A and B are shown apart, each in its own frame.
Chain A
Amino acid sequence: MAQVSSIAEEQASTPLSPSKSVTLRIARFNPEHDSERKFMEFTIPYKKWTTVLDIILEVKKYFDHSVAVRYSCRQATCGSCGMKINGKPMLACFTKITELDSDVITVEPMNNFPIIRDLAVRFERLFESHHKIKPYLIRDDSEITSNEKEFLQSPKEVEQYIQFANCIKCGLCNSACPTMATDSSFVGPQALAQAYRYVADSRDKGKNSRLKIIDESHGIWRCHFAGSCSQVCPKGVDPAMGIQLLRGYLLGFRS
């Protein structure tokens, strides 16, 4: 109990008036009636641990509640809060002001996604592409009908795909991809990485059907290994690796 109260005292003694402020520029745009994007500026105090999402919510709370932003978990798990922060796609809840090393923070909606309003974008295309590659185990039997009860895997087999199962569908990779920047039909790094995730899973038997889906003109061959997807991924998925390994199957380097 004594320990609890000392923690409470310590928290209460944290200085409430922060010493630093940052200028937050928020892109405002409603495609239904605006012809161009405008920026609103706010000066917001911050502390060592304040995130970009925190200051956006501060604006909503005290200055302008109409700013549209999508978020939920606040811990890089739901994949909702992707946006362009100082020119690069990042998760707002996972980006601290201090790590940006700038007195001005500009937040804009992610590129390569249609804008709903302000910072909120539509995810239909990402989900359609994700669905297209059949993101589930394909095999004739199931854990319910099989005699084995469950499909066992060795730790080594799990290692083959577990990294790719980390994907939270935030779309940052699709936003950074140079092919997505110009090609409206490209399946995108998120879905391709997920195709690899299932192809590499020893329980899955759908490799050929999945490879067939991505082996088309706006499929895997549009990736030019620029690697930007992997550089922005907040979960260590490394889509660029998955895509090149996947291409290895199609080129006959892997079986």
Chain B
Amino acid sequence: MEHRDENKEGIGGMINPRRYGIERVAYLLMRLSGLGLLAYFIGHIYETSLILKGEVGWSEFLELTQTTEGHVLLAIVIAMCVFHTVNGIRVMLGEGGVGVGKPARPDYPYIPASQNVKHKIGIYSAIVLAAIAMLYGLGVMFGE
């Protein structure tokens, strides 16, 4: 079959958060936090597996989290975790058809009912809660 360039927007277009409102920002943050949490999960499994090398290996690795970089990293993990959970609940409800509006005869200027204020509040809440949790985490870790 003849190869044809589909002129796809590619990853650059997929992750561009500037054109389609807060919903597309949430889409990007959801993807990034998902990947971040996956990386953390893999690191976490590796870290816990160090117990097989005895207490010394385990403690050595844990000390990394006691550094400034370690604290910042953990604070980012907290933010990713909270955002992914809260926004995930919003997306799951939406994807089940909850809160996406009801079909109706459309009228100009055609404001899409699925992009409604409930979902926007859900997104902003996820961002604010993630920020609060991160600041709290930073306070606890650096306040020790």
Q: Which residues of A pack against B, CB within 8 Å?
A: 31, 87-88, 109-115, 121-122, 125, 159-164, 166, 176, 178-182, 184, 200, 223-228, 230-238, 240-242, 244-245, 247-248, 251, 253-254
* B94 partner, pick from A114, A162, A225, beta carbons under 8 A: A225
Q: Of B14, B103, B110, which one neighbours A181 at CB under 8 angstroms?
A: B14
Question: Is the Cβ of B7 less than 8 Å from the Cβ of A112?
Answer: yes
Q: Do B103 and A159 touch across chains, with their CB atoms under 8 A apart? A: yes
Interface residues of B (CB under 8 A from A): 4-11, 13-15, 19-21, 23-24, 26-27, 30, 91, 94-98, 100-101, 103-108, 110, 112-115, 119
Q: Cβ of B106 and Cβ of A236 under 8 Å apart?
A: yes
A112 touches B9 (CB 8 A): yes
Q: How far is the CA of A247 from the CA of B119 in the complex (A)?
A: 18
Question: Could you say which of A162, A230, A248 contacts B105, with CB atoms under 8 Å apart?
Answer: A162
| Closest-CB distance, A128 to chain B (whole angstroms) | 13
Determine if A247 and B96 form an interchain contact, defined as CB atoms under 8 angstroms apart.
Answer: yes
Asked if A111 and B13 make an inter-chain contact with CB atoms under 8 angstroms apart, the answer reads: yes
Interchain CB contact under 8 A, B97 and A224: no
- In order of increasing CB-CB distance, the 7 nearest A-B pairs are A236-B106, A236-B110, A248-B97, A230-B112, A181-B9, A241-B114, A226-B27
Determine the residue in chain A with the shortest Cβ distance to B108.
A236
In the bound assembly, the distance between CA atoms of A122 and B5 in angstroms comes to 11
Question: Given A111-B7, A232-B20, A253-B97, 17 other A-B contacts at CB below 8 A?
Answer: A111-B8, A111-B9, A114-B7, A161-B103, A166-B106, A182-B8, A184-B6, A224-B27, A224-B30, A225-B27, A225-B91, A225-B94, A225-B95, A238-B114, A244-B95, A247-B95, A247-B96
Q: In this complex, what residue of B is CB-closest to A113?
A: B7
The reply to whether A178 and B115 contact each other, CB–CB distance below 8 Å, is: no
Once the chains bind, are B21 and A181 in contact (CB under 8 Å)?
no
B102 to chain A, nearest CB (A): 8
Residues of B within 8 A of A224 (CB): 27, 30, 91
User: Which residue from A113, A225, A234 sits with its C-beta under 8 Å from B110?
Assistant: A234
Complex: A134 Cα to B50 Cα, angstroms: 56
- Which residues of A are found within 8 Å of B10, using beta-carbon distances? 181-182
In the assembled complex, the CB of A247 is this many whole angstroms from the nearest CB of chain B, namely 5
B112 touches A88 (CB 8 A): no
Kindly provide the distance from the CB of B18 to the nearest chain A CB, expressed in whole angstroms.
8
Contact between A230 and B114 (Cβ–Cβ < 8 Å)? yes
**Contacts A230-B114, A236-B106 given: A248-B23 contact, CB under 8 Å?**
no
**Chain B hits for A254, CB < 8 A:** 97
Contacts of B106 in A (CB 8 A): 163, 166, 235-238
CA distance A164 to B5 in the complex (A): 30
Give the docked Cα–Cα distance between A10 and B78 (Å): 67
